[in-house]
Amino acid sequence: MRKQFIYLTTAVAVFAMASCGSNASEAGNADSTLNAGDSASAFKVSAESTLGWSGSKAVGIGQHAGTIAISEGSLSVENGNITAGTFTIDMTKITVTDSGLPDDAKQKLVGHFSSDDFFNVEKFPTSKFEITEVKAEANGANTHVIAGNLTLRDSVKNISFPAAVSITADGVTAKGEVIINRLDWGVNYDKASMSLAEKAQAKLKNGVVSKDIKITLDIKATK
């Protein structure tokens, strides 16, 4: 039982990020998504696109990282601007990429991430990001601020983040990162029906680690 508890709390710690950084996004209510105009050009999100997660333990030291697959998506461009976009995230393809972690430990962590304690991928096999606003706003290497509705499990919240966007006649690239609070989407150990002992343990697990996750996006789309 103690070994199982260690794996569970370690899983939360691995999939967390200390709550700091200028790219932290406060989740808001879902907003209206953008619709492409009749004259917009369509670009298909390619398999080269990546979604990475990274985090650190809230206590002790240790950096961790992984990926989640982007299964499909599209971007619309009109007059040199992104006017709509969406992509689907395959939650059944969560990976842990730490080079120093044994394969069996990686698989245990992936199993925890896939369980109802986290994303319940059996019930919610996909997540989605749908663009609600794109505005030009230069800040260092970033050229735009992108806002969109992020669906995790059965919750939809609006987030925004700075991104470096490049648009040509043949393709679109967008690179950015954002820190989200997992609790905003109900990603926690709390369940509707729990005993007092289970509630106490859930509170402990949710409290000993950071609530934040850092997501890194590298989107490539071609005609």
What are the φ and ψ backbone dihedral angles of 102, each rounded to 5 degrees? Answer: -60, 150
Q: What CA–CA distance (Å, rounded) separates 65 from 96?
A: 6
Question: Where does the pLDDT of residue 28 fall: very low under 50, low under 70, confident under 90, or very high at 90 and above?
Answer: confident
Q: What CA–CA distance (Å, rounded) separates 145 from 137?
A: 6
Is CATH 2.20.28.120 the classification given to domain 2-222?
Answer: no
**Percent of the chain predicted with pLDDT > 70:** 75
One-letter amino acid for residue 11 of the chain: A
Question: Where does the pLDDT of residue 9 fall: very low under 50, low under 70, confident under 90, or very high at 90 and above?
Answer: very low
Mean pLDDT of 54-76: 78
Between 65 and 130, the more confident residue is 130
Token pair in block for residue 149: 């509705």
3-state SS, residue 75: strand
Pick the closest to residue 213 from 150, 166, 165 (CA basis): 150
Q: What CA–CA distance (Å, rounded) separates 76 from 175?
A: 16
Question: Where does the pLDDT of residue 8 fall: very low under 50, low under 70, confident under 90, or very high at 90 and above?
Answer: very low
Question: Where does the pLDDT of residue 182 fall: very low under 50, low under 70, confident under 90, or very high at 90 and above?
Answer: confident
Mean pLDDT over all residues of the chain? Answer: 82
CA dihedral sign, ordered 165, 95, 130, 29: negative
Whether this model's pTM surpasses 0.85: no
**Token pair 């509705």 in the structure block, residue:** 149
pLDDT reading at 195 higher than 70: no
**Where in the chain are the domains?**
2-222
Token pair in block for residue 170: 């043949």
Pick the closest to residue 39 from 83, 74, 97, 89 (CA basis): 83
pLDDT tens by residue, 99-152: 888 999 899 889 888 988 789 999 999 999 999 999 999 999 999 999 999 999
Contact 216, 54 (CB under 8 A): yes
Q: What CA–CA distance (Å, rounded) separates 126 from 156?
A: 13
Question: Where does the pLDDT of residue 186 fall: very low under 50, low under 70, confident under 90, or very high at 90 and above?
Answer: confident
pLDDT reading at 39 higher than 80: yes
Token pair in block for residue 56: 């650190």
Residue 217: CB partners within 8 Å, gap ≥ 6?
49, 50, 51, 52, 163, 174, 175, 176, 177, 178
pLDDT tens by residue, 67-110: 999 999 999 999 999 999 999 999 999 999 988 889 998 998 89
Mean pLDDT of 51-72: 77
Contact 144, 165 (CB under 8 A): yes
pLDDT of residue 19: 38
Between 21 and 216, the more confident residue is 216
